[in-house]
Structure formats: C-alpha cells, structure tokens
Amino acid sequence: MDGLQVLGVAIRREPWVFTLSTLGSVLFGALTVADAWVLGWATDHVITPAFAARDAREAVGAGLLWAVLALFLGVALLRAVGIVARRLGAGIMQYRMQAHSRRAVTRQYLALPMSWHQRHPTGQLLSNANADVEATWGPIAPLPMAVGTIAMMVIAVAQMLLTDVVLAVIGLFVFPAVIVTNVVYQRWSAPWATRAQQLRAEVSEIAHESFDGALVVKTLGREGEETERFAERAHALRDANIKVGLYRAAFDPALAALPNIGVLVVLAVGVHRVLTGSSDAGDVVTVAYLLTIVSFPIRSIGWLLGNFPASVVGYRRVRSVLDATGSMPFGAVAAPSTGRGARLEIDGLGYDYPSGSGKGAASLLDDVSFAVEPGRTVALVGATASGKSTLVNLVSRLVDPDAGTLRLDGVDLRDLARGELAGAVAVVPQQAFLFDDTVRGNVTLGADVCDDDVWTALRAAQADGFVAALPHGLDSRLGERGTSLSGGQRQRISLARALVRRPRLLVLDDATSAVDPEVEARILAALRDGSTGESRPSLLVVAYRKATIGLADEVVHLAEGRIADRGTHAELLGRSPAYAHLVNAYEEER
C-alpha cells in the first residue's frame, strides 16, 4: 500500500502524461490480445484447412491469405503506436517527477536555517537530493505498463473464458501462484532494500567528508585508515545490494516460469480435448497463446512491485527533508535605503545552542546590547567561544535569536521581506569559499555587474594587482575552491564579492586573517574612506590584531557570551586588564 501511495503522488501531479502513457499501454495490451484472436482465426480458417486439403492453394484462396496478412500487419502497427505512447509518457513522467523532487529538496535546503544543516551531514543531504529521489520514482517506468496490462489481462481472461472455459480455468491457476511469489519476495527483500538505501547515504557522506578533508588526510598520513573506513561502508552496501540481487535473481525466473508451466498444462489438457472432440485446435492455440501473453503483464506487475521497497524508503527520506520544520519566516518590509551606512541596533540579544547531552542548552550569548552607527566601525574582540561568530550569524540572519532583537535602521530583521537583508548587509567569513569559475564569476556570482564595478571592488579589497597579473585577468579560472590562489588572495576575492554589491553594512568575521598587516591596513583604510564606489558602509569587524582593532571607532569586548566592556581601543587597554591581556596575547602569539 505504501508503494501505491507514492505512485499516487506522481499520478496526481502528472495526470495527463499518465493518462497518455496508460492509454498507450491499454492499446498495446488490447492489440496483443487481438494477435491471439487473429492467430486462432488463421489456424481454423487457413492453417488447418491447408493441412487437410491435398492442394493448399485450392483450400485457401489468395484473398484469404491477404486478409490474414493485413490483419497481422494492422495489429502490429497499432501495437507499435501503443508502445511508443507508453514508453514516451512513462519517461516524461519519471523525469519530471525527479526534477520536481530535486527542486523541492533544494528549495527546502535553502529555506531551512543553518541550525538544521548543522545537524545533518552533507553526504546525507546529497543522497536525499540524488539517490533517494531516483529510487522514489523508479517504479514510474513500469507503472503505465502495469496499469495498461491489467486491462490486457482482463481482456485476455475474458477471451480465454469465451474460447474454452475448462482450459481457461486451468490456466488461471497461475495467478494465485504468482501472488504468493510476490508476497514472499516483498517480505524477504524489503529489509535489505531499506538497508541498502541507508548505506548509500552513509557511503556518500564518508566520501564527501574524505574529499573535503583531503589535505588533513594526506598531511597526517591517514590514507590507509580513511580508505578502510570508506571500504567498510562500501562493502556493507555491496553485501546489501547482493542480497537484494539474490532475491531478485530467484524471483524473476520463478515469475517467468509459472506462466510457462501453465501453458504446458493447458497444451497437455488441450490435446486430450481435441482428440476427444471437446475442443477445436484453434481454441487450444488461442488459450495457450493468451496464457503466454498474460505472463508479460504478470512480469510487468512484478517489476513494479519489485521497485516498491526502495521507492518507499527513498520517498520517506525525501519527505523527511520536505517536512522538516524550522524554515525561517519573513516579513513584507523593504530595507530602508538612505544612501549611507546602515544603523545596526542589537538589543538584549540571547542565543542558546542545543546541548548534545540532552541536559538543556548551552548559552552562547546573553543580554548583548550595542549599536553600530551609520558609517562607523565597531570591532568585536573576545576569546575563543565568547560568541563572536554566533553574533555574526545572527546579524546575517543565518539563525534567529532566542531572545532580544536586531534592527536595521529601526526595522526588526524578522520583518524584512525575503532578500532585503542580503541586499543591505554583506558578510565576509574567515573561510573564503570560491567556486570553480572565473574571477569575474566568483565576484559577481551571476549578478548583472559591469567590469568597472568589479575592478573597483577588487581595488578596495587590494586584489586588483594579482588579478591583473593572472593569465586571463577577470576571465582566469580559479580552480575548485580557488586552489590556484593563496589563502590571503582567496580572502580578498571573497571581500571583493561582498563589496561589489555595495552593502550598507559590512560584517567581517576575521576576514583578513590570512592577509599580511600592511595589506590589511590598506583594505580597512579603503573601507573607512569610502573607496568602494559608494558612501562609506558601516563596519562590524571580528578582529584580533591590534592594528585592526585600533582603526575601529568602538570596541566591544565579549567574554563568555556577555559584553565585558565597551569603548575605544585605548580606553579598554587602560582600564581592562582582561582586555589588555587578550589582545597582547594575540599579538605575542602572532
């Protein structure tokens, strides 16, 4: 029933395509049964008289032969039309449903907050969008055939009963045997199909993790251990697939053999009935042939049922993503556009991370309040795990706070319409991610930006020099994750990506950590002087270097998720021993 419910989703979404493919399958089935009638009629009116007569040409006229030929040819052509309609409709329906599910899963991934993504491995998410989607809609390929051949079976059984009731009843004993075989197969194979689907996700997860951590694996000489970890899951997947294959290998021959056994029994009984005069030879041929073609619908239904276990598992895994809660609500307010830096107000902010021990939540931010005035620079300084990156995630609304509010020019971030925050606020993370694309593609990300604006952003990020030196300038490809560039160069391209959008609030999460202090000073000076092609944006900077912190108009010192002190860099150095120890320790370490 679960498998039929999954197929019901596809039928309701693509009713016209399903109807077309089913009509094609019904046409194919009806014409296949018609083939049996033509064969029986030809046996009685052409073949048997030809054998009985001394001169076959006298017994069978040319007109009759042409009639038989026309009948067979007409049936064959119409059956071909049915085959084309059936296969074309099934293919379109299957690929449309796969595309629809992949788009739905991807949209859900983008809608769900980062807190949800942090609880789900990337490999599993890739499996949900690929292997699980394909498994879910795998039964669509044999579905129109199975539905159409049910009509074929009804017509064939009716024709068998009309031709010879005794032979028809004998042949129909095949159906209970087929049903029992299907039930046994489902019970044996379903657990292994479920396990195989889960293992596919685990293999994908390990592979993705290994590729991402290739540098760590190679530099620490852990290739053997990583290979063994992958091999263990891959072998488990292999064994599960082999188990499913073994059951399928036993199921398919049994399904094919049962109708053939029925045909042999019908022929044996039919010969006896012909000898006793109870049946005609044409009736025996018709019933035997009908029973032969009924084996094909039985097999197509078997293919459909055989795909159900993996389909149900895949559908449940896809639904677990689509039904996931926590999607971020948006309002309908447009972000104010004042032509100057934005004002960010943080009021009573609190945020907790769920505890993995099940004993409540770990508080990361508690009653944090401060403001970034238009065009001003505020530096966030704090020890590791003091809440700096969490605060950045809240400002960019990757997650929402548990308490308090964040306002941009007086508007609560949660009241802004979708896309409005991204148009006003740009975040540059410490770990710069670049795509396997050109410099231009990585800076614009497909936005309609002229090259002059791209170069302006590159100059502000102090990246124009090395980009101009690349073989093809803006058209130079950077390789996967920007492997052709150094860490500092990647950070500057990432910064230019944010600046080209001319944000009114720029958030730098230690975004210049891989850049030498002299270049960093020039970058910050360009940002403070408004050298990005627009008015000076407001800056919120997570900083560690004294030189960087000294450029800020105000410093917010975070300690254990709370504001320990606020003021200028010089003021905090003079009155806060904890702050002085922290920034001096960073400087000494560097």
Rounded CA-CA distance 240/234 in Å is: 10
Residue with more model confidence, 203 or 148? 203
Residues above pLDDT 70, as percent of the chain: 79
State pLDDT tens for residues 464-512.
Answer: 888 888 888 888 887 777 777 787 888 888 888 888 888 888 888 877 7
Q: How confident is the model at residue 241 (pLDDT cuts 50, 70, 90)?
A: confident
State pLDDT tens for residues 552-589.
Answer: 888 889 888 888 888 888 888 888 888 888 878 765 55
Selection from 59-68, 117-126, 534-543 with the highest mean pLDDT: 534-543
State pLDDT tens for residues 300-324.
Answer: 666 666 667 667 777 777 887 787 7
Rounded CA-CA distance 70/78 in Å is: 12
Rounded CA-CA distance 269/273 in Å is: 6
Q: Is the pLDDT of residue 356 over 50?
A: no
Tokens of 350: 């609190």
Identify the CATH number of the domain defined by range 344-352+363-589.
3.40.50.300
Domain ranges of the chain: 2-322, 344-352+363-589
Nearest to 140 by CA among 307, 258, 283: 307
**Which residues contact residue 325 at a Cβ distance below 8 angstroms, ignoring those fewer than 6 apart?**
none
Tokens of 495: 């910064």
Nearest 10 degrees: CA dihedral of 516, 517, 523, 527? 150
Q: Is the pLDDT of residue 394 over 80?
A: yes
DSSP H/E element including 365: strand 361-372
**pLDDT for the residue numbered 358:** 45
Are the C-beta atoms of residues 225 and 342 closer than 8 Å to each other? no
In b/e form, how buried is each residue of 432-451, taking b as 16+ CB within 10 angstroms?
bebeebbbbbbbbeeeebee
Query: Pairing state of beta strands 538-542 and 505-509?
Result: parallel
- pTM of full prediction above 0.85: no
Q: How confident is the model at residue 3 (pLDDT cuts 50, 70, 90)?
A: low
DSSP per residue, 559-579: ETTEEEEEE-HHHHHHH-HHH
State pLDDT tens for residues 135-144.
Answer: 787 777 777 7
**pLDDT for the residue numbered 357:** 44
For the chain, what is the radius of gyration of the CA atoms?
A: 36
Give the Å distances, CA to CA, from 450 to 383, 390, 421, 443, 503: 41, 34, 23, 11, 17
Residue 108 DSSP SS3? helix
Rounded CA-CA distance 373/385 in Å is: 26
Identify the CATH number of the domain defined by range 2-322.
1.20.1560.10
Across all residues in the chain, what is the average pLDDT? 76
2-322 and 344-352+363-589 have identical folds: no
Q: Is the pLDDT of residue 533 over 70?
A: no
What is the mean pLDDT of the segment spanning 514-541? 72
